[in-house]
A and B are shown apart, each in its own frame.
Chain A
Protein backbone atom coordinates (compact mmCIF):
# COMPACT_ATOMS: atom_id res chain seq x y z
CA UNK A 1 0.00 0.00 0.00
CA UNK A 2 2.73 2.43 0.99
CA UNK A 3 4.64 1.33 -2.04
CA UNK A 4 1.68 1.99 -4.21
CA UNK A 5 1.29 5.49 -2.83
CA UNK A 6 4.98 6.14 -3.22
CA UNK A 7 4.83 4.84 -6.76
CA UNK A 8 1.88 6.92 -7.83
CA UNK A 9 3.37 9.95 -6.12
CA UNK A 10 6.56 9.39 -8.06
CA UNK A 11 4.60 9.08 -11.27
CA UNK A 12 2.64 12.21 -10.48
CA UNK A 13 5.83 14.11 -9.72
CA UNK A 14 7.45 12.97 -12.98
CA UNK A 15 4.37 14.10 -14.85
CA UNK A 16 4.51 17.52 -13.24
CA UNK A 17 8.20 17.87 -14.02
CA UNK A 18 7.59 16.91 -17.63
CA UNK A 19 4.79 19.42 -17.76
CA UNK A 20 6.93 22.20 -16.32
CA UNK A 21 9.79 21.36 -18.63
CA UNK A 22 7.40 21.26 -21.56
CA UNK A 23 6.02 24.69 -20.68
CA UNK A 24 9.52 26.12 -20.47
CA UNK A 25 10.46 24.67 -23.85
CA UNK A 26 7.25 25.83 -25.46
CA UNK A 27 7.68 29.34 -24.07
CA UNK A 28 11.25 29.39 -25.30
CA UNK A 29 10.21 28.26 -28.78
CA UNK A 30 7.49 30.89 -28.86
CA UNK A 31 9.93 33.63 -27.93
CA UNK A 32 12.46 32.38 -30.42
CA UNK A 33 10.07 32.10 -33.32
CA UNK A 34 7.81 34.97 -32.38
CA UNK A 35 10.40 37.50 -33.40
CA UNK A 36 11.31 35.76 -36.64
CA UNK A 37 9.79 37.12 -39.81
CA UNK A 38 7.42 36.84 -41.54
CA UNK A 39 4.71 37.77 -39.06
CA UNK A 40 1.36 36.41 -39.96
CA UNK A 41 -1.19 39.08 -39.07
CA UNK A 42 -4.00 37.30 -40.87
CA UNK A 43 -3.79 34.29 -38.57
CA UNK A 44 -3.64 36.61 -35.57
CA UNK A 45 -6.72 38.55 -36.60
CA UNK A 46 -8.58 35.32 -37.19
CA UNK A 47 -7.67 34.11 -33.72
CA UNK A 48 -8.61 37.40 -32.12
CA UNK A 49 -12.01 37.02 -33.69
CA UNK A 50 -12.34 33.38 -32.63
CA UNK A 51 -11.07 33.97 -29.13
CA UNK A 52 -12.34 37.42 -28.39
CA UNK A 53 -15.44 38.41 -30.20
CA UNK A 54 -17.05 35.09 -29.44
CA UNK A 55 -16.21 35.28 -25.73
CA UNK A 56 -17.74 38.68 -25.34
CA UNK A 57 -21.33 37.64 -24.53
CA UNK A 58 -20.12 35.23 -21.87
CA UNK A 59 -18.03 37.91 -20.19
CA UNK A 60 -20.89 40.36 -20.45
CA UNK A 61 -23.29 38.11 -18.61
CA UNK A 62 -20.80 36.93 -16.00
CA UNK A 63 -19.48 40.32 -15.03
CA UNK A 64 -22.89 41.97 -15.07
CA UNK A 65 -24.33 39.28 -12.84
CA UNK A 66 -21.42 39.42 -10.44
CA UNK A 67 -21.62 43.20 -10.11
CA UNK A 68 -25.32 42.98 -9.41
CA UNK A 69 -25.00 40.24 -6.83
CA UNK A 70 -22.16 41.98 -5.07
CA UNK A 71 -24.07 45.24 -4.81
CA UNK A 72 -27.03 43.35 -3.44
CA UNK A 73 -25.04 41.43 -0.83
CA UNK A 74 -22.97 44.39 0.30
CA UNK A 75 -26.05 46.60 0.34
CA UNK A 76 -28.19 44.36 2.51
CA UNK A 77 -25.25 43.31 4.63
CA UNK A 78 -24.16 46.84 5.40
CA UNK A 79 -27.64 48.30 5.73
CA UNK A 80 -27.82 47.57 9.49
CA UNK A 81 -24.64 49.54 10.06
CA UNK A 82 -25.70 52.37 7.83
CA UNK A 83 -23.01 51.37 5.40
CA UNK A 84 -24.99 51.65 2.20
CA UNK A 85 -23.06 54.66 0.93
CA UNK A 86 -19.94 52.53 0.94
CA UNK A 87 -21.42 50.04 -1.48
CA UNK A 88 -20.17 51.78 -4.64
CA UNK A 89 -16.65 51.96 -3.31
CA UNK A 90 -16.65 48.36 -2.10
CA UNK A 91 -18.11 46.95 -5.26
CA UNK A 92 -15.85 49.02 -7.47
CA UNK A 93 -12.60 48.21 -5.78
CA UNK A 94 -13.38 44.50 -5.41
CA UNK A 95 -14.29 44.30 -9.06
CA UNK A 96 -11.36 46.31 -10.29
CA UNK A 97 -8.77 44.63 -8.12
CA UNK A 98 -9.92 41.05 -8.16
CA UNK A 99 -13.29 39.90 -9.28
CA UNK A 100 -13.41 41.50 -12.72
CA UNK A 101 -10.09 40.24 -14.05
CA UNK A 102 -10.31 36.99 -12.12
CA UNK A 103 -13.74 35.87 -13.24
CA UNK A 104 -13.11 37.00 -16.78
CA UNK A 105 -9.94 34.93 -16.82
CA UNK A 106 -11.63 31.88 -15.35
CA UNK A 107 -14.44 32.06 -17.87
CA UNK A 108 -11.87 32.61 -20.57
CA UNK A 109 -9.90 29.57 -19.41
CA UNK A 110 -13.02 27.43 -19.56
CA UNK A 111 -14.07 28.64 -22.95
CA UNK A 112 -10.90 29.48 -24.82
CA UNK A 113 -8.42 27.18 -23.05
CA UNK A 114 -10.67 24.21 -23.71
CA UNK A 115 -11.14 25.31 -27.31
CA UNK A 116 -7.43 25.67 -27.94
CA UNK A 117 -6.51 22.33 -26.38
CA UNK A 118 -9.19 20.38 -28.19
CA UNK A 119 -8.58 22.04 -31.53
CA UNK A 120 -4.84 21.49 -31.44
CA UNK A 121 -5.32 17.99 -30.05
CA UNK A 122 -7.60 17.07 -32.92
CA UNK A 123 -5.10 18.50 -35.36
CA UNK A 124 -2.45 16.23 -33.88
CA UNK A 125 -4.70 13.18 -34.13
CA UNK A 126 -5.59 13.88 -37.74
CA UNK A 127 -1.92 14.48 -38.58
CA UNK A 128 -2.50 18.11 -39.47
CA UNK A 129 0.30 19.24 -37.19
CA UNK A 130 2.58 16.72 -38.90
CA UNK A 131 1.40 18.09 -42.24
CA UNK A 132 2.35 21.61 -41.20
CA UNK A 133 5.80 20.36 -40.32
CA UNK A 134 6.09 18.21 -43.45
CA UNK A 135 5.22 21.20 -45.60
CA UNK A 136 8.17 23.08 -44.18
CA UNK A 137 6.51 25.38 -41.70
CA UNK A 138 6.46 25.51 -37.96
CA UNK A 139 3.42 24.61 -35.85
CA UNK A 140 4.71 27.00 -33.19
CA UNK A 141 4.55 29.87 -35.61
CA UNK A 142 1.36 28.81 -37.37
CA UNK A 143 -0.67 27.53 -34.47
CA UNK A 144 0.76 28.41 -31.07
CA UNK A 145 1.95 31.98 -31.45
CA UNK A 146 -1.27 33.37 -33.01
CA UNK A 147 -3.26 31.84 -30.16
CA UNK A 148 -0.95 33.08 -27.42
CA UNK A 149 -0.89 36.59 -28.88
CA UNK A 150 -4.64 36.61 -29.38
CA UNK A 151 -5.13 35.71 -25.72
CA UNK A 152 -2.63 38.38 -24.66
CA UNK A 153 -4.54 41.00 -26.61
CA UNK A 154 -8.08 39.89 -25.96
CA UNK A 155 -8.12 38.94 -22.29
CA UNK A 156 -7.05 42.38 -20.98
CA UNK A 157 -9.64 44.01 -23.23
CA UNK A 158 -12.34 41.66 -22.01
CA UNK A 159 -11.29 42.28 -18.41
CA UNK A 160 -11.48 46.03 -19.00
CA UNK A 161 -14.99 45.61 -20.32
CA UNK A 162 -15.89 43.31 -17.45
CA UNK A 163 -14.79 46.03 -15.04
CA UNK A 164 -17.13 48.52 -16.63
CA UNK A 165 -20.06 46.15 -16.96
CA UNK A 166 -19.61 44.79 -13.45
CA UNK A 167 -19.80 48.28 -12.03
CA UNK A 168 -22.74 49.06 -14.24
CA UNK A 169 -24.50 46.00 -12.83
CA UNK A 170 -23.72 47.27 -9.33
CA UNK A 171 -25.11 50.66 -10.22
CA UNK A 172 -28.33 49.23 -11.58
CA UNK A 173 -28.97 47.13 -8.50
CA UNK A 174 -27.78 49.98 -6.26
CA UNK A 175 -30.34 52.37 -7.65
CA UNK A 176 -33.23 49.97 -8.21
CA UNK A 177 -32.92 47.69 -5.19
CA UNK A 178 -30.98 49.66 -2.61
CA UNK A 179 -32.38 53.08 -3.49
CA UNK A 180 -28.96 54.63 -3.83
CA UNK A 181 -29.15 57.58 -6.17
CA UNK A 182 -27.61 56.54 -9.49
CA UNK A 183 -25.73 59.81 -9.88
CA UNK A 184 -24.37 59.49 -6.37
CA UNK A 185 -23.37 55.91 -7.04
CA UNK A 186 -21.59 56.88 -10.23
CA UNK A 187 -19.78 59.78 -8.56
CA UNK A 188 -18.68 57.55 -5.71
CA UNK A 189 -17.15 55.05 -8.14
CA UNK A 190 -15.23 57.75 -9.92
CA UNK A 191 -14.09 59.50 -6.72
CA UNK A 192 -13.06 56.48 -4.74
CA UNK A 193 -11.41 54.20 -7.23
CA UNK A 194 -8.04 55.13 -8.54
CA UNK A 195 -5.70 54.08 -11.24
CA UNK A 196 -3.79 51.82 -8.84
CA UNK A 197 -6.91 49.78 -8.17
CA UNK A 198 -7.45 49.50 -11.85
CA UNK A 199 -3.90 48.64 -12.82
CA UNK A 200 -3.39 46.04 -10.13
CA UNK A 201 -6.30 44.08 -11.54
CA UNK A 202 -5.77 44.84 -15.19
CA UNK A 203 -2.03 44.11 -15.02
CA UNK A 204 -2.69 40.60 -13.85
CA UNK A 205 -4.67 39.70 -16.94
CA UNK A 206 -1.54 39.66 -19.09
CA UNK A 207 -0.14 36.94 -16.86
CA UNK A 208 -3.46 35.12 -16.80
CA UNK A 209 -3.54 35.16 -20.60
CA UNK A 210 -0.22 33.34 -20.63
CA UNK A 211 -1.40 30.96 -17.89
CA UNK A 212 -4.27 30.01 -20.18
CA UNK A 213 -2.75 30.02 -23.64
CA UNK A 214 0.55 28.27 -23.10
CA UNK A 215 -0.64 25.25 -21.06
CA UNK A 216 -3.61 24.81 -23.39
CA UNK A 217 -1.36 24.75 -26.44
CA UNK A 218 1.00 22.44 -24.60
CA UNK A 219 -1.68 19.90 -23.71
CA UNK A 220 -3.09 20.04 -27.22
CA UNK A 221 0.27 19.47 -28.87
CA UNK A 222 1.05 16.56 -26.58
CA UNK A 223 -1.97 14.49 -27.46
CA UNK A 224 -0.66 11.16 -28.70
CA UNK A 225 -3.09 8.33 -29.01
CA UNK A 226 -6.36 9.21 -30.56
CA UNK A 227 -9.50 11.07 -29.80
CA UNK A 228 -9.89 9.94 -26.23
CA UNK A 229 -6.78 11.87 -25.30
CA UNK A 230 -8.21 15.00 -26.84
CA UNK A 231 -10.83 14.97 -24.10
CA UNK A 232 -8.19 14.41 -21.46
CA UNK A 233 -6.07 17.22 -22.84
CA UNK A 234 -9.03 19.58 -22.84
CA UNK A 235 -9.83 18.78 -19.23
CA UNK A 236 -6.21 19.18 -18.20
CA UNK A 237 -5.99 22.51 -20.00
CA UNK A 238 -8.98 23.93 -18.16
CA UNK A 239 -7.99 22.57 -14.77
CA UNK A 240 -4.38 23.63 -15.07
CA UNK A 241 -5.03 27.11 -16.35
CA UNK A 242 -7.73 27.70 -13.74
CA UNK A 243 -5.39 26.56 -10.97
CA UNK A 244 -2.57 28.69 -12.32
CA UNK A 245 -4.91 31.68 -12.37
CA UNK A 246 -6.14 31.10 -8.82
CA UNK A 247 -2.73 30.44 -7.34
CA UNK A 248 -0.98 33.00 -9.50
CA UNK A 249 -3.54 35.58 -8.48
CA UNK A 250 -2.44 35.43 -4.87
CA UNK A 251 1.20 35.94 -5.68
CA UNK A 252 0.54 38.59 -8.29
CA UNK A 253 -1.72 40.45 -5.86
CA UNK A 254 1.11 40.39 -3.35
CA UNK A 255 3.63 41.60 -5.89
CA UNK A 256 1.34 44.40 -6.99
CA UNK A 257 0.85 45.53 -3.38
CA UNK A 258 4.59 45.67 -2.90
CA UNK A 259 4.97 47.62 -6.13
CA UNK A 260 2.26 50.04 -5.09
CA UNK A 261 3.98 50.78 -1.81
CA UNK A 262 7.16 51.46 -3.69
CA UNK A 263 5.67 53.77 -6.27
Chain B
Protein backbone atom coordinates (compact mmCIF):
# COMPACT_ATOMS: atom_id res chain seq x y z
CA UNK B 1 0.00 0.00 0.00
CA UNK B 2 1.29 3.41 -0.90
CA UNK B 3 1.57 5.71 2.08
CA UNK B 4 2.37 8.70 -0.08
CA UNK B 5 1.02 8.94 -3.58
CA UNK B 6 1.48 12.04 -5.70
CA UNK B 7 -0.20 12.28 -9.08
CA UNK B 8 0.24 15.00 -11.70
CA UNK B 9 1.34 17.42 -9.04
CA UNK B 10 1.66 21.00 -10.21
CA UNK B 11 2.99 23.99 -8.35
CA UNK B 12 3.55 27.58 -9.45
CA UNK B 13 4.56 30.78 -7.72
CA UNK B 14 2.88 33.51 -9.73
CA UNK B 15 4.07 33.02 -13.30
CA UNK B 16 6.91 30.79 -12.26
CA UNK B 17 6.14 27.11 -12.72
CA UNK B 18 8.17 24.99 -10.32
CA UNK B 19 6.51 21.63 -10.92
CA UNK B 20 4.70 20.81 -14.13
CA UNK B 21 3.61 17.22 -13.70
CA UNK B 22 5.16 15.22 -10.90
CA UNK B 23 4.00 11.73 -9.99
CA UNK B 24 5.46 9.14 -7.65
CA UNK B 25 4.53 6.97 -4.71
CA UNK B 26 6.22 5.64 -1.60
CA UNK B 27 5.08 2.42 0.01
CA UNK B 28 4.94 1.73 3.72
CA UNK B 29 8.39 1.42 5.26
CA UNK B 30 10.09 2.53 2.07
CA UNK B 31 12.50 5.38 1.69
CA UNK B 32 12.50 7.41 -1.50
CA UNK B 33 15.60 9.38 -2.39
CA UNK B 34 14.68 12.62 -4.12
CA UNK B 35 17.55 14.18 -6.01
CA UNK B 36 17.79 17.16 -8.29
CA UNK B 37 19.68 20.37 -8.80
CA UNK B 38 19.44 23.34 -6.56
CA UNK B 39 16.19 25.21 -7.17
CA UNK B 40 14.39 22.34 -8.88
CA UNK B 41 11.76 22.42 -6.18
CA UNK B 42 12.63 19.58 -3.85
CA UNK B 43 11.86 21.59 -0.75
CA UNK B 44 8.68 22.95 -2.30
CA UNK B 45 7.57 19.39 -3.02
CA UNK B 46 8.19 18.27 0.57
CA UNK B 47 6.48 21.39 1.91
CA UNK B 48 3.46 20.61 -0.23
CA UNK B 49 3.33 17.08 1.14
CA UNK B 50 2.82 18.47 4.61
CA UNK B 51 0.46 21.24 3.60
CA UNK B 52 2.79 24.19 3.99
CA UNK B 53 2.25 24.98 0.30
CA UNK B 54 -0.97 24.54 -1.63
CA UNK B 55 -0.65 22.56 -4.88
CA UNK B 56 -1.95 24.18 -8.06
CA UNK B 57 -2.99 20.91 -9.57
CA UNK B 58 -2.92 17.14 -9.22
CA UNK B 59 -3.58 15.05 -6.15
CA UNK B 60 -1.66 14.03 -3.06
CA UNK B 61 -2.77 11.01 -1.09
CA UNK B 62 -1.38 10.26 2.34
CA UNK B 63 -2.56 6.95 3.74
CA UNK B 64 -5.20 6.93 1.01
CA UNK B 65 -6.57 10.26 2.07
CA UNK B 66 -6.63 13.05 -0.48
CA UNK B 67 -4.93 15.95 1.23
CA UNK B 68 -4.29 18.56 -1.43
CA UNK B 69 -7.45 20.47 -0.54
CA UNK B 70 -7.42 19.86 3.16
CA UNK B 71 -8.29 22.71 5.52
CA UNK B 72 -5.60 23.92 7.89
CA UNK B 73 -7.48 22.52 10.87
CA UNK B 74 -7.48 19.03 9.34
CA UNK B 75 -3.80 19.29 8.55
CA UNK B 76 -3.07 19.91 12.19
CA UNK B 77 -4.09 16.37 13.04
CA UNK B 78 -2.33 14.82 10.09
CA UNK B 79 0.94 16.54 10.93
CA UNK B 80 1.23 14.55 14.12
CA UNK B 81 1.97 11.52 11.95
CA UNK B 82 3.87 13.19 9.12
CA UNK B 83 6.99 15.05 10.16
CA UNK B 84 9.04 17.48 8.14
CA UNK B 85 12.67 18.11 9.00
CA UNK B 86 13.34 21.59 7.69
CA UNK B 87 16.34 22.21 5.50
CA UNK B 88 17.48 25.00 7.81
CA UNK B 89 16.32 23.52 11.10
CA UNK B 90 13.65 26.22 11.65
CA UNK B 91 14.21 26.23 15.39
CA UNK B 92 12.25 28.55 17.66
CA UNK B 93 14.87 31.10 18.50
CA UNK B 94 13.19 32.31 21.68
CA UNK B 95 13.37 28.79 23.13
CA UNK B 96 16.29 26.74 24.34
CA UNK B 97 17.27 23.47 22.68
CA UNK B 98 15.43 21.64 25.44
CA UNK B 99 12.27 23.68 24.95
CA UNK B 100 12.45 23.18 21.21
CA UNK B 101 12.48 19.42 21.66
CA UNK B 102 9.82 19.53 24.33
CA UNK B 103 7.48 21.55 22.13
CA UNK B 104 5.95 18.68 20.11
CA UNK B 105 5.66 16.50 23.20
CA UNK B 106 3.95 19.22 25.22
CA UNK B 107 1.59 19.83 22.33
CA UNK B 108 0.58 16.31 21.48
CA UNK B 109 1.59 13.79 24.12
CA UNK B 110 0.32 13.19 27.61
CA UNK B 111 3.73 12.48 29.03
CA UNK B 112 4.71 13.92 32.38
CA UNK B 113 7.49 16.47 32.56
CA UNK B 114 9.92 13.89 33.93
CA UNK B 115 9.15 11.47 31.10
CA UNK B 116 9.60 14.28 28.62
CA UNK B 117 12.92 15.12 30.20
CA UNK B 118 14.11 11.52 29.94
CA UNK B 119 13.09 11.34 26.31
CA UNK B 120 14.85 14.55 25.46
CA UNK B 121 18.05 13.51 27.20
CA UNK B 122 18.20 10.26 25.29
CA UNK B 123 17.30 12.00 22.02
CA UNK B 124 20.07 14.54 22.53
CA UNK B 125 22.52 11.73 23.22
CA UNK B 126 21.49 9.96 20.03
CA UNK B 127 22.16 13.11 18.05
CA UNK B 128 25.44 13.88 19.77
CA UNK B 129 24.01 16.99 21.34
CA UNK B 130 24.34 16.17 25.03
CA UNK B 131 24.96 19.23 27.15
CA UNK B 132 23.24 21.70 24.83
CA UNK B 133 19.89 21.62 26.66
CA UNK B 134 19.98 25.13 28.00
CA UNK B 135 21.54 26.80 24.98
CA UNK B 136 19.60 28.96 22.57
CA UNK B 137 19.73 28.26 18.83
CA UNK B 138 21.88 31.34 18.31
CA UNK B 139 24.45 29.85 20.67
CA UNK B 140 24.99 26.61 18.76
CA UNK B 141 26.56 25.96 15.35
CA UNK B 142 24.66 25.57 12.10
CA UNK B 143 25.25 21.84 12.00
CA UNK B 144 24.02 21.52 15.55
CA UNK B 145 20.91 23.54 14.75
CA UNK B 146 20.25 21.20 11.89
CA UNK B 147 20.51 18.18 14.16
CA UNK B 148 18.27 19.76 16.76
CA UNK B 149 15.71 20.38 14.02
CA UNK B 150 15.94 16.77 12.96
CA UNK B 151 15.69 15.57 16.54
CA UNK B 152 12.61 17.74 17.04
CA UNK B 153 10.95 16.32 13.92
CA UNK B 154 11.55 12.77 15.16
CA UNK B 155 10.34 13.49 18.68
CA UNK B 156 6.75 12.33 18.18
CA UNK B 157 7.78 9.08 16.48
CA UNK B 158 5.93 9.88 13.26
CA UNK B 159 4.85 7.34 10.66
CA UNK B 160 6.23 9.40 7.81
CA UNK B 161 9.29 11.62 7.82
CA UNK B 162 10.30 14.03 5.12
CA UNK B 163 14.01 14.76 5.42
CA UNK B 164 15.21 17.90 3.68
CA UNK B 165 18.96 17.50 3.25
CA UNK B 166 19.51 16.17 6.78
CA UNK B 167 23.25 15.65 6.36
CA UNK B 168 24.17 18.77 4.39
CA UNK B 169 26.87 20.70 6.18
CA UNK B 170 27.61 17.99 8.76
CA UNK B 171 31.01 16.48 9.43
CA UNK B 172 31.54 12.83 8.38
CA UNK B 173 31.17 11.57 11.93
CA UNK B 174 27.80 13.22 12.45
CA UNK B 175 26.70 12.33 8.93
CA UNK B 176 27.24 8.70 9.81
CA UNK B 177 25.37 9.15 13.03
CA UNK B 178 22.36 10.68 11.26
CA UNK B 179 22.51 7.95 8.65
CA UNK B 180 22.31 5.35 11.40
CA UNK B 181 19.38 7.12 13.03
CA UNK B 182 17.51 7.22 9.75
CA UNK B 183 18.18 3.51 9.27
CA UNK B 184 17.01 2.79 12.79
CA UNK B 185 13.71 4.53 12.13
CA UNK B 186 13.41 2.75 8.84
CA UNK B 187 13.81 -0.57 10.59
CA UNK B 188 10.84 0.45 12.73
CA UNK B 189 8.77 0.80 9.57
CA UNK B 190 8.84 4.55 9.16
CA UNK B 191 8.12 5.71 5.63
CA UNK B 192 10.40 8.44 4.38
CA UNK B 193 11.43 10.75 1.61
CA UNK B 194 15.03 11.83 1.69
CA UNK B 195 16.14 14.89 -0.22
CA UNK B 196 19.89 14.89 -0.41
CA UNK B 197 23.02 15.37 -2.44
CA UNK B 198 24.95 13.11 -0.12
CA UNK B 199 24.97 9.97 -2.25
CA UNK B 200 26.66 7.54 0.16
CA UNK B 201 23.92 8.20 2.69
CA UNK B 202 21.26 8.06 0.01
CA UNK B 203 22.51 4.73 -1.28
CA UNK B 204 22.72 3.37 2.25
CA UNK B 205 19.22 4.41 3.18
CA UNK B 206 16.98 4.64 0.12
CA UNK B 207 15.11 1.83 -1.59
CA UNK B 208 14.45 3.85 -4.70
CA UNK B 209 15.20 7.16 -6.31
CA UNK B 210 13.47 9.89 -8.22
CA UNK B 211 15.36 12.50 -10.17
CA UNK B 212 13.74 15.91 -10.42
CA UNK B 213 14.65 18.02 -13.43
CA UNK B 214 12.89 20.45 -15.74
CA UNK B 215 9.76 20.53 -13.59
CA UNK B 216 9.11 16.80 -13.85
CA UNK B 217 10.53 13.54 -12.54
CA UNK B 218 12.98 12.64 -15.27
CA UNK B 219 14.02 9.27 -13.95
CA UNK B 220 12.87 6.79 -11.34
CA UNK B 221 14.24 3.46 -10.28
CA UNK B 222 15.21 1.20 -7.43
CA UNK B 223 18.61 1.48 -5.84
CA UNK B 224 19.59 -1.86 -7.41
CA UNK B 225 18.66 -0.71 -10.89
CA UNK B 226 20.63 2.49 -10.41
CA UNK B 227 23.72 0.70 -9.26
CA UNK B 228 23.70 -1.35 -12.43
CA UNK B 229 23.19 1.59 -14.78
CA UNK B 230 26.25 3.81 -14.75
CA UNK B 231 24.79 5.86 -17.60
CA UNK B 232 21.62 6.83 -15.82
CA UNK B 233 20.76 10.49 -15.35
CA UNK B 234 21.09 10.20 -11.62
CA UNK B 235 24.62 8.86 -11.94
CA UNK B 236 25.56 11.63 -14.29
CA UNK B 237 24.00 14.16 -11.95
CA UNK B 238 25.87 12.79 -8.98
CA UNK B 239 29.12 12.89 -10.87
CA UNK B 240 28.52 16.49 -11.78
CA UNK B 241 28.14 15.95 -15.50
CA UNK B 242 24.63 17.35 -15.76
CA UNK B 243 22.46 19.67 -13.72
In the complex, whether B107 has a CB less than 8 A from a CB of chain A is yes
Are B86 and A127 touching (Cβ within 8 A)?
yes
In the complex, whether A136 has a CB less than 8 A from a CB of chain B is yes
A39 to chain B, nearest CB (A): 14
In the complex, whether A138 has a CB less than 8 A from a CB of chain B is yes
Q: Find the residue from A126, A130, A134, A137 having the highest chain B CB count within 10 A.
A: A134
Bound Cα distance from A128 to B77, whole angstroms: 19
On whether A128 and B93 interact (CB within 8 A), knowing A133-B52, A134-B86, the answer reads: yes
Give the total number of A-B pairs whose CB atoms are below 8 A apart. Answer: 51
Bound Cα distance from A127 to B52, whole angstroms: 11
Are B52 and A136 touching (Cβ within 8 A)?
no
Are A135 and B103 touching (Cβ within 8 A)?
yes
In the complex, whether A13 has a CB less than 8 A from a CB of chain B is no
Are A136 and B90 touching (Cβ within 8 A)?
no
Q: Find the residue from B72, B73, B90, B153 having the highest chain A CB count within 10 A.
A: B90
Are B107 and A136 touching (Cβ within 8 A)?
yes
Are B88 and A135 touching (Cβ within 8 A)?
no
On whether A130 and B52 interact (CB within 8 A), knowing A135-B107, A135-B152, A136-B108, the answer reads: yes
Bound Cα distance from A131 to B80, whole angstroms: 12
Are B79 and A131 touching (Cβ within 8 A)?
no
Are A131 and B86 touching (Cβ within 8 A)?
yes
In the complex, whether B70 has a CB less than 8 A from a CB of chain A is no
Bound Cα distance from A131 to B79, whole angstroms: 11
* Contact with A136, one of B47, B76, B91 (Cβ below 8 angstroms): B76
Q: Mark B92-134, 1 if CB is under 8 A from A, else 0.
A: 1100000000011001100000000000000000000000000
On whether A135 and B93 interact (CB within 8 A), knowing A127-B86, A130-B52, A130-B86, the answer reads: no
Q: Which of A194-251 contact B (CB under 8 A)?
A: none
B20 to chain A, nearest CB (A): 23
Q: Which of B48-79 contact A (CB under 8 A)?
A: 50-52, 72-73, 75-79
Are B152 and A126 touching (Cβ within 8 A)?
no
On whether A127 and B88 interact (CB within 8 A), knowing A133-B75, A135-B79, A136-B76, the answer reads: yes
In the complex, whether B84 has a CB less than 8 A from a CB of chain A is yes
Of chain B, the residue at the smallest CB distance from A141 is B76
B50 to chain A, nearest CB (A): 6
Are A131 and B104 touching (Cβ within 8 A)?
no
In the complex, whether B83 has a CB less than 8 A from a CB of chain A is yes
Residues in chain B near residue A137, CB distance under 8 A: 76, 107
Of chain A, the residue at the smallest CB distance from B47 is A130
Of chain A, the residue at the smallest CB distance from B108 is A136
Residues in chain B near residue A133, CB distance under 8 A: 51-52, 72, 75-76, 79
Residues in chain A near residue B78, CB distance under 8 A: 136
Bound Cα distance from A127 to B93, whole angstroms: 11
B106 to chain A, nearest CB (A): 10
* Contact with A131, one of B76, B90, B156 (Cβ below 8 angstroms): B90
Are A138 and B103 touching (Cβ within 8 A)?
no
Bound Cα distance from A131 to B152, whole angstroms: 10
Q: Mark A104-136, 1 if CB is under 8 A from B, else 0.
A: 000000000000000000000011101101111
Residues in chain A near residue B88, CB distance under 8 A: 126-127
A-B contact pairs, 5 of them (CB 8 A): A128-B91, A133-B79, A134-B79, A134-B90, A137-B76
* Chain A residues packing against B (C-beta within 8 Å): 126-128, 130-131, 133-138
* Chain B residues packing against A (C-beta within 8 Å): 47, 50-52, 72-73, 75-80, 83-84, 86, 88, 90-93, 103-104, 107-108, 152-153, 156
